[in-house]
């Protein structure tokens, strides 16, 4: 198994790092031509350097017709797309891996790979300007391209049989016999129907390093190849086992044992002993360190109360809390459902971001460990019209922040809890209305296209701002705001000189254009137009 950075062609003067030359190259080529299983790569154990285990930990979770499959790795797109295509409900749409020849005019028309190129195009359309790229490499001879395509598309079935243990790491000179990227085995081959949605998950439960496909592994030495920690067929091992695990969860073929299962059982015992030992030793040290922490400066209390807001803005609450050594505040937003009755409304699962002002530089470190650092925490809550609408927009009403945390006081860690003062959330009132035309018996006007604000100012999170990107604005807001509203209705409110008030519905088209109200405005009468969108947001224009 490769060690970090090994193999890596940039590490010169390491044996094997540079191309073979002279008699060594001749001997190597001769042995390969005779199909003697000379490994194509040199390997070294990586346990304790990259991995914590002698085995791969793979996981599948079934949620009805949805499957989550984890390789516990930094998977490249070939692995994920192959896995998902083998787990779906469609037979014959396996994605083998990226084939550069599909982008080359002299090779893309090969009928043997027409279906593979068509499948690839559904993921990577070369006509899309965002995918404009040149084909890398220097050797575009037909025989070289044929080998590349075999590495991508050949069936990998059989490389992991015990009989092939000596040859699995050595590529056959005959391209019809080499093992390609992935085993051509779909979930239907295992008597399971497949999933409506299959999702490949990385970095879950363990870490098995980067994982590149066989073709990527063979093409060149690189950092990601060096971290593909179980050899050239690692990606296929992961994807094929995950497919079989997923099939067994749908009533398909039962999982069969692995040849190295006894070694895996021993390794599990080893890891449990190591984890328990390290945990016991570090736990005692951690408790001793906690006991010696200094007091936090000041007692926990609110410092800045939230202000009333409209949608497309955010309320902010600031308080003094404890240090990050002991405090990880639990913050929620509550909504007043009836006078004096507060119900949980939002929490830190994505709706209420929280931050702390960290100590600054060496003086800050000194203040922290001498009990002079004041820990200022902030939380925000955004109100908005949602997109998609099913996620639910922020309802007008009265809200408040509530905080629970811990602080060091009297050389002990003590809890604190309090709520902010209530703050009001109201609908957005920014719908624009063009200057109306008033005649003797009619008022005419247009409602402008309803475009919502993209961001807001005054956030305690300094990165919240409008970056001006038309496609997507990452830092504009935390929550999924709608970009545009749909005109719903408009009305004219008239207050007569006598003091009576009348409201007249306007007749408009679906976009709020060509609105008109049949009404006569007399001397001393006052009038204003109000427009509404589908979510109750409004705009007002004073006629007179």
d(CA 369, CA 366): 5
Backbone angles phi, psi at 464, to 5 degrees: -70, 110
Cα–Cα distances (Å) from 289 to 284, 292, 293, 326, 340, in that order, read 9, 5, 7, 11, 43
Q: Which residues contact 147 (CB under 8 A, 6 or more apart)?
A: 175, 178
d(CA 445, CA 441): 14
pLDDT value of residue 14: 46
Cα torsion for 185, 189, 195, 197, to the nearest 10°?
20
pLDDT value of residue 18: 58
pLDDT value of residue 43: 66
Per-domain boundaries in the chain: 22-262, 301-426
CB count within 10 Å of CB 219 equals 16
Q: For the chain (length 544 residues), average pLDDT per consecutive 10? A: 46 52 80 78 70 84 96 91 97 96 92 95 88 84 95 96 89 92 97 97 82 90 78 94 97 91 91 92 91 92 97 98 96 97 95 95 90 95 92 95 96 96 97 94 95 95 92 90 94 94 95 95 94 96 94
What are the b/e assignments for 280-308, b being 16+ CB within 10 Å?
Answer: eeeeeeeeeeeeebbbbbbebebeebbee
Residue 448 forms beta bridges with which residues? none
- Indicate the pairing of strand 443-445 with strand 515-517: antiparallel
Q: Is the peptide bond before 433 cis (omega within 30 degrees of 0)?
A: no
pLDDT tens per residue, range 371-427: 899 999 999 999 999 988 888 999 999 999 999 999 999 999 999 999 999 999 999
Among 230, 316, 287, 219, smallest CA distance to 56 is for 230
Q: Round to the nearest angstrom and report the end-to-end CA distance of the chain.
A: 81
Among 359, 400, 413, 352, smallest CA distance to 379 is for 352
Superfamily of the domain at 301-426:
Neutral/alkaline non-lysosomal ceramidase, C-terminal domain (2.60.40.2300)
> Can you give the pTM of this predicted structure?
0.65
Phi-psi region of 194 (alpha: psi -120 to 50; beta: other; left: phi over 0): left
Residues across the chain: 544
- Indicate the pairing of strand 354-356 with strand 538-542: unpaired
**CB–CB of 207/48 below 8 Å?**
no
The C-alpha R_g of the chain, in whole angstroms, comes to 33
Alpha-carbon torsion 202, 206, 210, 212, what sign?
Answer: negative
pLDDT value of residue 273: 94
Among 94, 115, 116, smallest CA distance to 243 is for 94
Q: Which two tokens stand for residue 524?
A: 């001393």
pLDDT value of residue 345: 96
pLDDT value of residue 8: 47
| Residue 88 DSSP symbol | B
Among 195, 101, 109, smallest CA distance to 148 is for 101
């Amino acid at each position: 198994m490769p060690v970090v950075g090994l193999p890596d062609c940039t590490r010169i003067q390491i044996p094997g790092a540079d191309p073979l030359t002279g008699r060594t190259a001749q001997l190597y080529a001769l042995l390969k031509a005779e199909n003697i299983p000379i490994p194509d790569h040199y390997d070294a154990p990586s346990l304790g350097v990259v991995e914590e285990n002698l085995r791969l930990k793979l996981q599948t979770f079934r949620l009805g017709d949805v499957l989550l499959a984890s390789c516990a790795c930094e998977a490249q797109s070939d692995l994920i797309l192959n896995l998902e295509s083998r787990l779906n409900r469609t037979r014959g749409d396996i994605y083998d891996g990226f084939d550069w020849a599909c982008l080359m005019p002299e090779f893309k028309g090969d009928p043997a790979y027409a279906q593979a190129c068509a499948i690839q195009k559904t993921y990577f359309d070369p006509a899309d300007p965002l995918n404009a790229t040149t084909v890398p490499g220097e050797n575009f001879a037909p025989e070289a391209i044929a080998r590349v395509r075999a590495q991508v598309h050949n069936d990998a079935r059989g490389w992991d049989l015990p009989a092939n243990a000596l040859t699995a790491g050595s590529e056959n000179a005959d391209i019809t016999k080499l093992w390609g990227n992935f085993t051509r085995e779909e979930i239907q081959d295992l008597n399971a129907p497949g999933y409506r949605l299959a999702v490949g998950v990385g970095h879950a439960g363990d870490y098995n390093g980067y994982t590149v496909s066989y073709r990527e592994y063979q093409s060149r030495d690189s950092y990601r190849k060096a971290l593909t920690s179980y050899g050239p067929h690692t990606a296929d091992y992961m994807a094929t086992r995950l497919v079989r695990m997923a099939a067994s969860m749908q009533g398909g073929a039962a999982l069969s044992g692995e040849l190295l299962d006894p070694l895996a059982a021993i390794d599990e015992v080893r890891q449990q002993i190591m984890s328990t030992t390290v945990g016991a030793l570090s736990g005692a040290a951690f408790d001793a360190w906690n006991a010696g922490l200094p007091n936090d400066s000041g007692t926990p209390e609110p410092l800045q109360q939230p202000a009333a807001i409209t949608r497309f803005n955010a309320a902010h609450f600031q308080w003094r809390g404890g240090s990050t050594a002991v405090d990880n505040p639990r913050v929620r937003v509550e909504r007043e459902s009836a006078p004096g009755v507060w119900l949980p409304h939002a929490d830190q699962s994505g709706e209420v971001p929280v931050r702390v002002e960290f100590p600054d530089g060496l003086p800050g470190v000194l203040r922290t460990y001498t009990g002079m650092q004041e820990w200022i925490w902030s939380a925000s809550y955004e109100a908005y019209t949602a997109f998609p609408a099913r996620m639910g927009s922020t309802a007008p009403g009265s809200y408040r922040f509530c905080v629970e945390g811990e602080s060091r006081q009297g050389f002990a860690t003590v809890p604190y809890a309090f709520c902010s003062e209530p703050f009001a959330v109201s609908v957005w009132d920014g719908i624009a209305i063009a200057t109306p035309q008033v005649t003797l018996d009619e008022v005419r006007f247009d409602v402008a296209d309803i475009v919502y604000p993209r961001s807001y100012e005054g956030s305690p999170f300094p990165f919240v701002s409008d970056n001006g990107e038309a496609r997507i604005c990452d830092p504009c807001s935390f929550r999924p705001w709608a970009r545009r509203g749909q005109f719903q209705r408009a009305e004219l409110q008239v207050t007569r000189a006598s003091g009576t008030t009348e409201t007249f519905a306007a007749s408009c088209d679906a976009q709020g254009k060509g609105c008109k109200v049949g009404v006569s405005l007399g001397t001393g009468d006052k009038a204003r137009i109000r427009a509404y969108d589908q979510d109750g947001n409004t705009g007002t224009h004073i006629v007179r």
